[in-house]
Structure 1
């Protein structure tokens, strides 16, 4: 079973992602902030992290930096309203494998997840 950690503070978005992923056979868990996400990554076995950049306690970029410090090689897909080229480039420099701007179509998200799974 492919396990996805959703780091998203907006309840509605987190709930929709969780419901949609489960519908397509994924196991999903939700972290409401960056510190919780890091703790869950360290204690759980996840195959993918869906990471919002605008988390309340730690910016998503800080979470990416901490993952590198912890030598976590978990694939990360950023989901963010930040569509600026500088933010997108920074996300990839910090180790993200994919960057999806909000709003997005769920079918597009599933395609990007499938691409990451095949790598």
Structure 2
């Protein structure tokens, strides 16, 4: 597995490179956002770790640029910025996950492994009103129009449709969709739900993804 680390602090970059190489990853380093962008375009990476506060091009802008040409490569922000607003902004820019400094290397390693696990498909199609999700074609249509979703958005929508008429708690979603089995900020789910609603063009009257306050989400007939 090949990883690109974009980090301007030499000590942290060296620490990550050494630890990940001990886990048999091939690691490339970039010290600023512009170099990170060039390297992201010159090679195929299995995953990228990006710091937010980078010289020349911020991690946020770097993530947005990468997403213009690669919708699928997993990206994890590794940063000291720790507010909810920062987390939301990072995920909206296209990141798959967000880990705050300081962190334990074992937690980062597990998050990397989560992102690299293959998504299991059931080979089924799910329908709800004018919405169709096909797991074989990996496609979503709503009101007769195709909807472009990220892998995680697709997996979340698939999970909700698969469990139609059943309350899906945040804990269940983090465990079954994100495949995370340790303490984790489930607020990330709300970000993805909002993104789904926006991409599906759901307004208040047509929103079939119901929020059960304090518990989770449900799609009902």
Q: Which structure 1 segments of 5+ residues have no match? A: none
Mapping 1:24-103, distance limit 5 Å: 24-103=23-102
TM-score, normalised by the number of residues in structure 1: 0.95
Alignment: residue pair count: 118
TM-score, normalised by the number of residues in structure 2: 0.52
Say what the alpha-carbon RMSD is for the aligned residues. Answer: 1.0
Tell me, in whole angstroms, the C-alpha distance in 1 between the residues paired with 2:99 and 2:68. 24
Greater CA drift, 63-72 or 9-18 = 63-72
Tell me, in whole angstroms, the C-alpha distance in 2 between the residues paired with 1:66 and 1:72. 10
Cα 1:71–1:107 change in 2 (3 A) is: closer
Tell me, in whole angstroms, the C-alpha distance in 1 between the residues paired with 2:85 and 2:57. 19
Instruction: Please say which structure displays the higher CA radius of gyration.
Output: 2
Greater CA drift, 99-108 or 57-66 = 57-66
RCO higher in 1 or 2 (8 Å CA, sep ≥ 6)? Answer: 1
Deviations 1:60-88 (A, max 9, x none): 11101111223453210000000011000
More helix by share: 1
